[in-house]
Amino acid sequence: DEQVTISPSQVETFERCGLRWLLSMAVGAQDGGPTEYSTMGKVIHAVAELAADDPGVSESDIAKRLDEIWDELDFRSGWYAQKQRETAEQMVGRFLAWHRENEREVVAVEEPFQVDLGRVVIRGRIDRAERDGAGRAVIVDIKTSASAVPAQDLPRHPQLGVYQYAVMLGAFERYGLVEPGGAELVQVGKGGFTAKVRIQRQEDPAADDNPKWTGELVDRVARGMANPIFEARINEGCRNCPVRNCCPAHEDGGQVTP
């Protein structure tokens, strides 16, 4: 069988809709150009990396880094740049408050990983790998979007599940992290709904009724990606889908043949 390479984010996309994955990842129909959230993501991740590398980072250090990032961005209009800067500062404030109160040890930031299972290769990058008090790995994914993940989806959230599976497979063994201790979405954007970050936690797979669900998820998605037929599934992400006009599941869409 042909080897399939997947990433945690691709697994999440494919689980929602195979056709969207095909068009957005394989054909090149992306979710659009630079957006508010992609821009804010770059800002927050740069600040997060700075804060993790230097425990004594000051507010002036953060402000200087923000200035450097802003000089690299093109907002095309001054008023929009100012509006985004204010939003960025709010997100940075939320993140730093959480970071300074977080008692876990930060082990790795913006860390790429790869696990070769033979028929399947899992490749990705984590925002943060942390060590909890029991020595287990907690993978943190920082989100700047306006919407949070529905609570009922958290126990088997695909992206977080794949991160935890990668831990079990030894992706971060070089840091002494071999046992998953859960994974978290840290919502610093409007998805937090409050002045503080909103933590959305997934427990470790051992706490699930089926502790093997993460491996089964990866296997199912890998087989689906290798299949010549890609199913279009209506889901809550349809309203923002960049390939809706090509989708046969909607009245304004059309038939797609790979």
**pLDDT tens-place string over residues 7-61:** 998 888 887 766 666 676 655 544 444 455 567 788 888 888 988 888 888 888 8
**The model scores a pTM over 0.85:** no
pLDDT at 1 over 70: no
pLDDT at 127 over 80: yes
Cβ pair 39, 87 in contact under 8 A: no
Mean pLDDT of the chain, nearest integer? 82
In terms of average pLDDT, the best of 33-37, 140-144, 195-199 is: 140-144
What amino acid occupies position 194?
T
pLDDT of 61 reads: 87
Provide long-range contacts, Cβ within 8 A and 24+ apart, for 103-107. Answer: 103/133, 104/130, 104/131, 104/132, 104/133, 104/138, 105/130, 105/131, 106/52, 106/130, 107/131, 107/137, 107/172, 107/175, 107/177
pLDDT in tens, 180-194: 999 999 999 876 556
How far is 247 from 108, CA to CA, in rounded Å? 40
pLDDT of 33 reads: 42
pLDDT of 32 reads: 42
Instruction: Please tell me which residue, 114 or 18, carries the higher pLDDT value.
Output: 114
Q: What percent of the chain has pLDDT over 90?
A: 42
